[in-house]
A and B are shown apart, each in its own frame.
Chain A
């Protein structure tokens, strides 16, 4: 069974840092591109970042560029999001999502981890 489990969320002060993790199981994660998507509670979904299967190609939303860093450790089947210089507007539930092999949609999502910047 495919599972994605995020961790690392919590309360942090503005300007602080946090590192999120997403542990993958039930599939060979090294074969998949992975994304982070966030959602302010009660609001819509917003794409944050993407990393390809070997980590050589990375994209960020303009709102986080220069502050967030996506990475992965395929040996550990784990995806990361290092978040620096956090702002109140970064407060959200952060989901990791697996890009389907056949296209850019997300076929599996983690349960999310809440980041509160206050």
Chain B
């Protein structure tokens, strides 16, 4: 099983600042099969990024994904008020499909 470790657990930032979220895998993820989701309280997760760096339909370009192998990053270039939420990475290179434990981006 591929274990995903996200850091930091919580990121305290102000609107307009840049957010950098990390997702590290316990083994190399083939074909960059990694996605990022955003989840707000009481809502289902929403797909942001797939294949490590491709933005999903309708996702603003302030969200970007990068990385390969075992180290992946989600960057939010300038935080908007609606971006404060929990973010999860997920790998789909192998079964079982696994998620990171999440990074909460909170307003400082």
On A, residues with C-beta under 8 Å from B are 35, 44-47, 50, 59, 61-62, 95, 100, 102-112
B37: shortest Cβ distance to chain A, in Å?
A: 8
Contact of A45 among B45, B51, B92, B95 (CB under 8 A): B45
Q: Using A105-B50, A105-B90, A107-B56 as known contacts, say yes or no to A44 and B45 having CB atoms under 8 A apart.
A: no
Chain A neighbourhood of B90, CB < 8 A: 45, 105-106
Q: Using A95-B44, A104-B33, A105-B47 as known contacts, say yes or no to A44 and B95 having CB atoms under 8 A apart.
A: no
> In the bound complex, what is the Cα–Cα distance between A107 and B96 (angstroms)?
18
B47: shortest Cβ distance to chain A, in Å?
A: 5
Contact of B92 among A46, A105, A111 (CB under 8 A): A105
> In the bound complex, what is the Cα–Cα distance between A44 and B44 (angstroms)?
12
On B, residues with C-beta under 8 Å from A are 33, 35, 37, 43-47, 50-51, 56, 88, 90, 92-93, 95-102
Chain A neighbourhood of B46, CB < 8 A: 109
Give the one of A35, A105, A108 with max B CB within 10 A.
A105
Q: Are A44 and B47 in contact (CB under 8 A)?
A: no
A7: shortest Cβ distance to chain B, in Å?
A: 15
Q: Are B92 and A104 in contact (CB under 8 A)?
A: yes
> In the bound complex, what is the Cα–Cα distance between A35 and B95 (angstroms)?
13
Q: Are A106 and B45 in contact (CB under 8 A)?
A: yes
Q: Using A44-B101, A111-B44 as known contacts, say yes or no to A103 and B56 having CB atoms under 8 A apart.
A: no
Query: Top 10 nearest A-B pairs by Cβ distance?
Result: A104-B92, A105-B35, A109-B44, A47-B97, A45-B99, A105-B50, A44-B101, A44-B102, A107-B47, A47-B96
Chain B neighbourhood of A61, CB < 8 A: 96
Q: Are A100 and B50 in contact (CB under 8 A)?
A: yes
Q: Are A47 and B44 in contact (CB under 8 A)?
A: no
> In the bound complex, what is the Cα–Cα distance between A104 and B50 (angstroms)?
9
> In the bound complex, what is the Cα–Cα distance between A45 and B92 (angstroms)?
14
Q: Are A103 and B98 in contact (CB under 8 A)?
A: no
> In the bound complex, what is the Cα–Cα distance between A100 and B56 (angstroms)?
11
Q: Are A103 and B95 in contact (CB under 8 A)?
A: no
> In the bound complex, what is the Cα–Cα distance between A110 and B46 (angstroms)?
10
